[in-house]
Structure formats: C-alpha cells, structure tokens
Amino acid sequence: MTFDILILGCGAATPTAKHLPTSQLVNLHDKLFLIDCGEGTQMQLRRHKIKMQRIQHIFISHLHGDHYLGLVGLISSMHLLGRKNSLHLYGPPELEELVKLNLKVSQTYLEFPIIYHPVSGNELKLEFEDKTLEVYSFPLKHRIPCHGFLFKEKTKPPKIRKEIIQEYNLMPSQILLLKNRKEVVLENGEVLTVENSCIESSSPRKYAYCSDTMYWETLVPFIKDADILYHESTFLDSESDRAKATFHSTARQAGKIAKMANVGTLVLGHYSSRYNSEEDFIRQALEEFPNVVASNEGMVIQL
Amino acid sequence: MTFDILILGCGAATPTAKHLPTSQLVNLHDKLFLIDCGEGTQMQLRRHKIKMQRIQHIFISHLHGDHYLGLVGLISSMHLLGRKNSLHLYGPPELEELVKLNLKVSQTYLEFPIIYHPVSGNELKLEFEDKTLEVYSFPLKHRIPCHGFLFKEKTKPPKIRKEIIQEYNLMPSQILLLKNRKEVVLENGEVLTVENSCIESSSPRKYAYCSDTMYWETLVPFIKDADILYHESTFLDSESDRAKATFHSTARQAGKIAKMANVGTLVLGHYSSRYNSEEDFIRQALEEFPNVVASNEGMVIQL
C-alpha cells in the first residue's frame, strides 16, 4: 500500500530563489493529505500534476504566513474548477475566521462544504481515522500555538494460515475471533491462538511531521518509533542562539530528537534563507543521528 | 528618466505551469510601485533581484485572490527583513481588515507603519503625487468593485533657451514667470513668451492599467492617449459569452478599447488557464488595433 510524502516546499519564512515555503503532500493508501500550505502550494501541485480535487483533508500546523498563505488561493481554485466534495480543514481555531473573511471580500460562494476541525491541546489527539489509517495532532513549542501531525497505518489483523483454516474447517465466527486476537477453543478441546495459527502482518508505518518548533524533548513520546520524522532545522550550530530566540531548531537539535525518538530516518527542512546549501545541515545532524536526508522541492520520500 | 513596467505575473485565477497570478512593478523616475500582488509575487521579486524594501506604494485593484493573495506574505517578509519605512496600501476598503486579521493571527507586530488608502468611487481620482508624477485610480466594471490605475508624469515646465537668458540677463523672478508659462515684459517694452524664448519638454508619459474588467466603453476617457495600456484579455472570441458572464474581456474587446482610447501600445494579459499560447490573443486584438504586445512573466515594457 502506498505511503509516501511529496515535498512541495521546504524553505522558511522569507523567500529565496531556491526554496518555497512549507507544504507537503502525504499519499497514504491513495488518500491525499496536504500538510501546511505556504504561498505557491497550488502552483506546485499543478507542476507535479497532482489533481487538487483529490485532496480532502488539509492540516495547517500554525498561522505563520509561510505555512498557510497558499490556502485561500487553493480553496478558490478548487471552487473555480468545479469542486462539490467536502474539504476538511484541520488547524488553529482562527483559521475559520481567516478563510471566511477572504471568501467574503471576494464574494466567493463555495459550492462545496468546508468542515473546520480546530486543533488545540497538549496531548496526542486523534483528528481523523478510517478503516486503515489514523492522523493525530500533537503540540510543538513555537512562538505561537503550533501542532505537529502523525500519520499512521492501523495495525492490521493477523492473517490466519491457510492450512489451519482447511485443517479445522474454521467457521467465519472462529476466523473473526482469531483476527481479533482471541482464542478459539475447538470441540476436541484444542486451542487455536494467534501464535499457533496466524502470520502477523508487517508492522504499521508512521510518519511524524514537526513543522516549526524549538528543541523540545516533550515531543519525543508523540513521535516515538516513527519510520520517518520530518523535523524542522531552520538554523545551523552557528545560529543556535537565534534558533532559541525565534523558537526554531538547529539541524543538530533535530538529530538529537530523532535519536531520542528512535525514528527510522530524519528528514530536515525549513532552512533559513541565509544559507545557500544543505550540506552543513546534513553534516551537523549526522553527528547526532545516523540516517539523515535533506528535503528539497520535488523530493518523494517513500515509507 | 526611467519609466518601465516589469511583468511579474499575467495569468488568471486558476494556476498554470506557465503563468503566475497578476502582479506588475512600475519603475517611474526610480520610484517602485507594485500593482496587484497575486500569490507568488514576493518570490518573483526575489527572482528578479528587486529589493522589496524599495517599494513604498502598493496598489490593489480588487479583492479576487489572484490579485491580492501575495500581499500578506510580502508584508511579512518586509517585516522579517527589518523594514522601518512606511508602506502605503491603496485598495478596496476591506483590505485593511484583511491585512490586520492576518497580522493578528500570526502575532506579527510590524515595526513600520502601513498607511491605508481606501480606493472607491466612479471618477478619475488622484491617489498619489510628488514633484514629478501622479497616480490616479479609476473604476473598472467587474463582478466585485475593481479599479484601474493611471501612472503619469507631470507636465514639465518649458526650458528657457540659454541664449535668451544670456542676451537679456534674465533675473530669477523672470525665469520663474516663463517657466510658469507667463509673459515677461522687459524694460525696453519687448515681450518674452514661452513661444519666442523656450523649448517645450517632451510630452509627459502615461501608463494605464486595467486589471479585470468586462468590455466597458465608460473607461475610455480615463485612459485616453496613454502611451501604454495594459488591458486584461482573459478570453478569445470563442468564449465571448463566458467573458460577458464572468465580467471579463476578450482580446478583441481589449483591442477595441485601445483604439477608442487612442493609446500607443496595447499590452494583453490575464489569460485564462484554458489556453496554451498567446498567439491567438495577439491575432484577434490586432484585427482591432495595430500595436499589440502579449505580456509574459519577466517582460519589461519601457515607455
């Protein structure tokens, strides 16, 4: 099943010729989720031939412009291109007022509903789920309220070995019991368990997204064991004071968090416009954690 | 003296891989004026190495997203890059509420003043002037309130011929009279006039900008004799019904307006995303008016 992330923008607040402001597209089991929507996101979607109407859920981490200023343009284009399907917006409570004011001044009357899901709180919180996946929000530590998002597959039920089904001629109700990890006691007194009758499915995959945050160990439990962690790295060691003052992280700090959280791979991004290359970001993070990738526009990360 | 226009974006509302939403930079006597500020404008300024802090006046024609959604991002970047100088914003009255709400939710406290100049009304109205130039607003006919802008040089005073100054040993007060097109009566009874003593300066140049409008002959007097007219041409003849229904123009209609207004050159733009090339726009406009240019991102038009 598909689980990948397309980097649409990975620069920080002021524009550069090299990077666009933050946005990522998560394809999880062929559902498209947009995370953050900086200025230019709709142009990036077009450039990468993504059908914007396939996006049903948009998650906005916080209301700094480089994370949401592309949202109203995207919504307007969805409208102009004839959208009828609901759009779910997850983000700070003020997002609703912002979107509504923009639609009001442009006298835009959408023909599709927007369902607002205000994101707040200090815990891991389930925001969306369907049969096979879940999306959680969790707090980050930034200058204004800010949340990260965790995309994960649900644990799949164990598969019952074919020969067991045939040998014991299992009934549907017995199969269901095993899939729900319960024991089945047969007429002859024999007991079937997950251990003696099933094959465990591959372990569910997790992607953790930490858009803008200072170094904050409190978030480690929320992102524990993620296969991929995107953690902002606005600055290098040389600007660590500035990182603290502006509630951002250095690449090294991102590496430390990745190590503590025992993630698979760390993806860096949100580079300050003062830097021309990502080499030093990778080098400094690698001194803390062995698997590091520097995000770039157009990169696809597969889980 | 410089008078040129840099096209930053000339597409219409929905994004294409080819065009960006509307924005233009007018350099008039080395003052920079931004007209409209679609999503991506700050990236375009960066791409063209324009120092954004040099922009002191921004004119927004109307509040459809493709004409203003880059504004808050630009203001935020001006702030992050240390701006202290005032910024003058000319546009629909609701612009102030929009900008202020965005600054509030991001908890951005600007260190420079924004001076809001609400634009409204049905007449040619002076919005800004200094010693050498004037900017006017005038109404367009669109689905929501929308204004065009006219940039013009002031008429320069006539230059007094050097030999006249020497021959008659003119006093400063006499020179001033001639510059103000008054007569000077000399002691010997001789009369100096502009006609017999001066050289007229070159005639002042005018640029007229009509962002979004349906075919509307009422605007002709406002843009009369402009050296350059930018007039939107969202559609081709084949979509003329759609042009009318959406309060937009065809390239042919732009050509008709250019002819009636006796302008020098017509610049087309705001092309609907349904078209892949500008050839037919030029061809259809040329059937109405002889001097036609199709705008494109990065194009510089000199007056």
Per-residue pLDDT of chain B (303 residues; tens, 9 = 90+): 899 999 999 999 887 888 999 999 999 999 999 999 999 999 999 999 999 999 999 999 999 999 999 999 999 999 999 999 999 999 999 999 999 999 999 999 999 999 999 999 999 999 999 999 999 999 999 999 999 999 999 988 888 998 998 888 888 899 999 988 899 998 889 999 999 999 988 889 999 999 999 999 999 999 999 999 999 999 999 999 999 999 999 999 999 999 999 999 999 999 999 999 999 999 999 999 999 999 999 999 999
In the structure encoding, which two tokens stand for residue A212, read together?
């803008």
Pairing outcome for strands B147-153 and B206-210: antiparallel
Which of chain B's residues have a Cβ under 8 Å away from the Cβ of A94? 105
B74: left (phi over 0), alpha (psi -120 to 50) or beta: alpha
Tell me how far apart the terminal alpha carbons of chain B are, to the nearest angstrom: 10
Domain end, chosen from A148, A179, A199, is at A199
Residue A14, C-beta contacts closer than 8 angstroms, at least 6 positions apart: A273, B77, B80, B81
> Are residue B231 and residue B137 in the same domain, yes or no?
yes
Mean pLDDT estimate for chain A: 95
Gap from B134 CA to chain A (nearest CA, Å):
28
Q: Which residue of B has its CA nearest to A42?
A: B15
Contact predicate B27/B2, CB 8 Å? yes
Cβ neighbours of residue B187 closer than 8 Å, sequence gap 6 or more: none
User: Does the structure show a pLDDT above 90 at A191?
Assistant: yes
Same domain, B86 and B134: yes
Cα distance between residue B110 and residue A65, in whole Å: 14
pLDDT attached to residue B215: 98
Q: Is A295 helix (H, G, I), strand (E, B) or coil?
A: coil
The CATH number that applies at residue A52 is 3.60.15.10
B40 touches chain A (CB under 8 A): yes
pLDDT of residue B37: 98
Shared domain for A231 and A296, answered yes or no, is yes
| B11 and B101 fall within a common domain | yes
d(CA B281, CA A291) in angstroms, rounded, equals 53
Q: Could you report the per-residue pLDDT of B251-276, keeping only the tens digit for each?
A: 999 999 999 999 999 999 999 999 99
CB contact under 8 A, A43 and B15: yes
Residue B252 contacts residue B284 (beta carbons within 8 Å): yes
In this structure, are A217 and A132 located in the same domain?
A: yes
Q: Where are the beta strands (DSSP E) in chain B?
A: 3-9, 23-28, 31-37, 55-59, 87-91, 114-118, 125-129, 133-139, 147-153, 159-160, 184-185, 191-192, 198-199, 206-210, 228-232, 265-269, 292-294, 300-302
The number of domains in chain A is 2
Q: Distance between CA atoms of A33 and A134, rounded to whole angstroms?
A: 12
Is the domain of A120 the same as that of A219? yes
Three-state SS string across A118-185, please? ECCCCCCEEEEECCCEEEEEEECCCCCCCEEEEEEECCCCCEECHHHHHHHCCCHHHHHHHHCCCCEE
Distance of residue B47 Cα from the nearest chain A Cα, in angstroms: 6
Each residue of A175-190: pLDDT tens digit? 999 988 899 998 889 9
Per the CB < 8 A criterion, the answer to whether B146 and B212 are in contact is: yes
* Cβ count near B175 (within 10 Å): 16
Q: What is the dihedral of CA A159, A165, A167, A170, to 10 degrees?
A: 140
Beta-carbon contacts of residue B301 (< 8 Å; ≥ 6 apart): B4, B5, B7, B228, B265, B267, B293, B295
Q: In whole angstroms, give the CA distance from residue A213 to residue A220.
A: 12
- Together in a domain, A146 and A174: no
Q: Do both B105 and B30 map to the same domain?
A: yes
Using alpha carbons, list the distances in angstroms from residue B2 to A139, B26, B44, B275: 52, 10, 21, 34
Distance of CA A71 to CAs A19, A21, A37, A91, Å?
A: 18, 12, 6, 11
Per-residue pLDDT reduced to its tens digit, B118-149: 999 999 999 999 999 999 999 999 999 999 99
Q: Which residue has the tokens 């049905």?
A: B122
d(CA B268, CA B235): 11
Q: Which residue of A has its CA nearest to B48?
A: A17
- pTM metric for this prediction: 0.90
Nearest 5 degrees, angle CA B79-CA A248-CA B97?
35
Write the single-letter amino acid at A243: A
Q: Which amino acid is at B156?
A: K
Q: How far apart are CA A229 and CA A146, in angstroms?
A: 17
Boundaries of domain holding B195: 159-199
A28's enclosing H/E stretch is strand A23-28
CB pair distance less than 8 Å for A63 and B92: no
Task: Rounding to the nearest 10 degrees, give the CA dihedral for residues B217, B218, B219, B224.
Answer: 80
Instruction: Give pLDDT, residue A15.
Output: 78
Helix axis angle for A251-261 and A279-286, nearest 10°, is 40
Boundary-marking domain end, from B199, B228, B258: B199
Q: Is B66 in the active site?
A: yes
Measured between CB atoms, does B145 come within 8 Å of chain A? no
Beta bridge partners of B192: B184
Q: What is the rounded (10 degree) CA torsion for A13, A95, B115, A272?
A: 0
Which residue from A252, A255, A204, A201 is spatially nearest to A227, judged by alpha carbons? A204
The 10s digit of each residue's pLDDT in B220-256 is 999 999 999 999 999 999 999 999 999 999 999 999 9
pLDDT of residue B214: 98
DSSP B179-192: HTT--EE-TTS-EE
Residue B106 touches partner A, C-beta closer than 8 Å: yes
The DSSP code for A196 is: H
Residue A101 to residue B98, Cβ atoms within 8 A:
yes
Say if the Cβ atoms of A76 and B65 lie within 8 Å: yes
Contact with chain B for residue A199, Cβ under 8 A: no
Give the pLDDT of residue A217: 98
Positions of A marked active-site: 66
pLDDT of residue B52: 96
Reported confidence tier of residue A82, pLDDT bands at 50, 70, 90: very high
- Name the amino acid, one letter, at B285: A
Rounded Cα distance, B125 and A102, in Å: 27
One-letter amino acid of B94 = E
* φ, ψ for residue A62, nearest 5 deg: -165, 170
Q: How far apart are CA B22 and CA B9, in angstroms?
A: 4
Output the pLDDT for position B92.
98
Same domain, B173 and B227: no
pLDDT on residue A229:
98
**Residues A44-81: b if buried by 16+ CB within 10 A, e if exposed:** bbbeeebebbebebbbbbbbbbbbbbbbbbbbbbbbee
Local structure of A115: helix, strand or coil: strand
Residues B126 and B269 grouped into a single domain: yes
CB contact under 8 A, B46 and A92: no
For residue A23, is pLDDT > 90? yes
**B107 plus B170 within the same structural domain:** no
**Same-domain status, B175 and B102:** no
Residues in A closer than 8 angstroms to B94, CB to CB, are 105
Is A158 exposed, middle or buried (CB count within 10 Å of its CB: 0-12, 13-18, 19+)?
Answer: middle
